Amino acid sequence: GEFIVLRVEHRMTDMTQPGAVSSALGGSVTINCRTSQDVYYHTQHPYHHLAWYQQRDGETPKLLIYRASTRASGIPGRFTGSGSNSAFTLTISGVQAEDAAVYYCQSYHYPNSQHVFTQ
């Protein structure tokens, strides 16, 4: 069968992601993102400030998931975000050829008000 590779390159020292994952078409892949400190969460804003982006070759990054698990407008249900605190996951089920891309996770940390955006 055909295989595609979803590249996830580690850039920031305080976030950890795998170098690459691969899947057969129609399969399922999981991409993990771990931060060295907990992602911002507040009772007045009861969600984790973690987002996932997809960047295909030659294109700008596209928002897939925000608030850790909310799909952005137009993103199909086969993209699922989950996790809490410092460990988050992007799962792609029913992988399609157009899913071959670089995936980023972005986190927000308080009180440093620091955005960490890694590939």
User: pLDDT, tens digit, for every residue of 16-32?
Assistant: 566 788 888 999 999 99
Burial class (CB in 10 A: 0-12, 13-18, 19+), 94: middle
Which residue do the tokens 């979803």 mark? 6
Residue 7 has pLDDT above 70, yes or no: no
- Report CA Rg, the chain: 14
Phi, psi (degrees; rounded to nearest 5) at 13: -70, -20
Identify the pLDDT of residue 40.
67
Residue 112 has pLDDT above 90, yes or no: no
Q: How far is it, in rounded angstroms, from Cα 68 to Cα 83?
A: 7
Indicate the SS3 state at residue 48.
Answer: coil
More confident residue, 118 or 86: 86
Indicate the SS3 state at residue 46.
Answer: coil
Q: How far is it, in rounded angstroms, from Cα 101 to Cα 22?
A: 11
Q: How far is it, in rounded angstroms, from Cα 52 to Cα 81?
A: 8
Which residue do the tokens 């984790």 mark? 48
User: Percentage of the chain with pLDDT > 90?
Assistant: 39
Domain 3-118 annotated CATH 2.60.40.10: yes
pTM score, whole prediction = 0.77
pLDDT digits (tens, 9 = 90+) for 37-64: 777 666 666 667 789 999 998 999 999 9
